[in-house]
Amino acid sequence: MIGYTETIEEFLAQHSADVEKAIREAAATEIMPRFRTLAAHEVDQKTGPHDLVTDADRLAERYLTEVLGELLPGSVVVGEEAVHADPAVYEAIQGATPVWIVDPVDGTRQFVGGDTGFCTLVALARHGELLASWTYAPARDQLATAVRGQGAFLDGERLRAGIPDTGRDLRVATSHPDYTTDAQKRILHTLSVDGVAPRPCGSAGLEYLAVARGELDATAFSWEAAWDHAAGLLLVEEAGGTQLTVTGEPFRITGGNALPFTAARDRATAHRVRDLLASAG
């Protein structure tokens, strides 16, 4: 079993390409053959009509659970579908054991609808600290990676979030209204002011990638499931961005955060979004 962060860093130096290969193979084997060919019996609802799961989600997570566990002996996998089946699985994120945090198909609604805006998200963490992440959009053949302290990259090119252009409305992706309560909608509505241009989010992982690329200025999300946020948060941070919860504290992948929270291209933007969200009282 991996015992120290230094040996995890050595693992990443030696095996990042193997992790990438596993993610690409999971997509090629279990996700893309079902893209735009899903039959009705391959799509189910979990908690409601907007919370979908497909055979691609389940089988890709099973594939990654097996391969990632073999790559890093002693590690555990916390996947979205595994946690849905057994919520206690989530507790592993808080422990000393290296944890793979997996969302096999982030943006399942887009996937089911035949839109290319979905991705596979994988992050590696220990003691609740993010160490590395992979964001793979198979229908667009894009792979973004980040390793703590080593920067963020998209298809081998370094990502720099930069700062928003002066004089332009801030572009902010917010929690989709289909997934928010009335109280959450009221808080997110504080972003509907002059100088800010909010819009509903698509795949969370791809919205984080847009922030890291400087194509989106910030996010404002009202849920904290680690599989949706872990990979993207590290990507944004390593691209020079930052993140804050509504109370001004950093977001913790272990949970218990004050919500909503924001990830932004720069600190000034994060504080502006956070102050607007906090103004709802």
Calculate the CA 57 to chain-centre distance. Answer: 15
Edge-first strand order for the sheet with 119-126 is 76-79, 99-106, 119-126, 129-137, 142-147, 151-154, 157-158
User: What single-letter amino acid sits at 231?
Assistant: A
Q: What class has domain 5-158?
A: alpha beta
Say whether 103 counts as a known binding-site residue: yes
Q: Is 275 annotated as a binding residue?
A: no
* Distance, CA of 229 to CA of 18 (rounded, Å): 22
Query: Any idea what DSSP says for residue 165?
Result: P
Residue 157 annotated in ligand binding: no
> The pTM is what?
0.94
CATH of the structural domain 170-278, one choice from 1.10.10.10, 3.40.190.80, 3.40.50.11540, 3.40.50.300: 3.40.190.80
Q: Is 6 annotated as a binding residue?
A: no
Radius of gyration of the chain (CA): 18
Alpha-carbon span 81 to 83, nearest angstrom:
5
pLDDT in tens, the chain (281 residues): 344 445 888 999 999 999 999 999 999 999 999 999 988 888 888 665 567 789 999 999 999 999 999 999 999 999 988 998 899 999 999 999 999 999 999 999 999 999 999 999 999 999 999 999 999 999 999 999 999 999 999 999 999 999 999 999 999 999 988 888 999 999 999 999 999 999 999 999 999 999 999 999 999 999 999 999 999 999 999 999 999 999 999 999 999 999 999 999 999 999 999 999 999 87
Fold agreement between 5-158 and 170-278: no
Structure token digits, residue 46:
């979990």
User: What dihedral do alpha carbons 207, 264, 256, 62 form, nearest 10°?
Assistant: 30
Tell me how far CA of residue 218 lies from CA of 44, 127, 171, 208, in angstroms. 32, 27, 7, 8
- Can you give the residue ranges of every domain in the chain? 5-158, 170-278
Q: How far apart, in whole angstroms, are the C-alpha atoms of residue 120 and residue 29?
A: 13
CA–CA dist 181, 46 (Å, integer): 18
**CA–CA distance, 278 with 281 (Å, rounded to integer):** 6
DSSP state of 116: S
